[in-house]
Structure 1
Amino acid sequence: MTKRKIDKARGERIRHVRSEILKIGSQEQFAKLLSQYGTPVTRGAVGNWETGKEVGIENLSRICKVAQVNLDWLAYNRGQPKGLAIASFDPDSPDDDPFEAGYTREHWQGSQEGAIPEIDGKLGAGQGQVGEVINLPVGKNAISGHAVKAEWILPIEYLRNEAKASPAKTIVMEVVGDSMSPTYQPGDRVLVDLSQDTMTSDTVYAISDGESEPQIKRLQRVPFSSPTEVIIISDNENLQDFTVELNRLQILGRICGVIARR
């Protein structure tokens, strides 16, 4: 009989999730919590995992979903515990990718109240960048998401009342290129509210055509057009505007604010 490998370091990470992140004192309570999200888990199983014995990827992903931690960190000690923010902006990914709810923006938790994640992806005021997309195995499938490269601490009242943004669904992205100058300069960071993914007014949005990297552009609806058309506007007066049908665009979110050096 082949002896199964013991991974004590992984066991310590599972113990850390239970006792330090979730603040659960007993293995039995942890087992009961995990059992609410799938097949029943016993206290004995949790005890085995915490000593480094084998644990399946399905149970690892369940722990990550409950504790809102990075699966790559828990399983393989790669990256940070709170490493993922949102589903990937990768234009080449299929529309039916099986994203897990535990990896969406609203489930990400920062180091303190008011923390907004800056993801490893850039909005093009010209040519955007998808950034590093991390692929993680979950059972027979895989999920992908962006690494969080920084946290920005912003007052909740400002986000809700002034920026008119959802604190739980807002991210920070860097601007590259000068097509939106002088309003948005290269190196500026913008607040993107992912919950505002439809065009409700003529303003600035993060957009994608489904084939290229995400862009930051001003959208203006064409009156009386059918099907509805929008003018895609670059604030840089040296660049030409163009018109497309609205249904050809993917609106990722509304630009709600800018963090800039002026």
Structure 2
Amino acid sequence: MGKVRKLVVEVVAAHNLMPKDGQGSSSAFVEVDYDNQRSRTRTAEKTLNPVWNNERLVFDVPNPMNLHNQVLQIYVWHEENPPPGRKFLGKVKIHGSTIVKQGVDDVLKFNLERRSIFSYIKGDIELKIYTFDEEEKKKSGGGGGEKIQQIEWKEKEVKQEKQETKEEEKPEKQEKAEKQEATEKQEKAEKQEATENQEKPEKQEAPEKQEKAEKQEKAEKQEATEKPVLEVKDEPFSFMDH
């Protein structure tokens, strides 16, 4: 019998996660994708610092010689109650070239990354990642030794993927719409302010013109009143004067 290469991800713990349950906490689980295989941990209920106690997720490595060219995707999710809804808490991308063999593995800490510019992410996750060789006969489920728990979502995968995509995109779209609305409101306020500033001098100028006209009119009336009137005296006409 030959040997089969296995890839193991031991999920240790996470720290300082974003609250997502609306009550200041989260119920987190970790999901790992590798080479079209997907496994997840149990859910750590109501904590921003979940501990999984080195829960192990195992994957087949079909082509060990190509492992250094492959990528391991680690996702942290908040599980909605009731499931299967979930919210994004962060991700980590690990290249196969950094994966070691069993025996030289250490606990590694990774800062969680955001998915897009609209994601609000914080915290980190601790993992142990390594490979080992297993006898091929164990592949048939022969048991013995150490049994590694693996959770596969196959029957519900298509339906759940669609629902997850909608749930994941909803906050981002809502955030984007809110930002766009805020930008439009700001632009509208700026335009209104510019219009008001433009109209303000005109409004100020109108009373000044009116006041000036009233003063001029008043001065003209006063001048007309004070102007001397030429008096014409009627003298008796006499032929002797001629």
One fold, TM greater than 0.5? no
Return the structure number with greater helix share: 2
Task: Return the structure number with greater relative CO, CA threshold 8 A, min gap 6.
Answer: 2
The structure that has the greater radius of gyration is 2
**TM-score calculated relative to the size of structure 2:** 0.24
**TM-score calculated relative to the size of structure 1:** 0.22
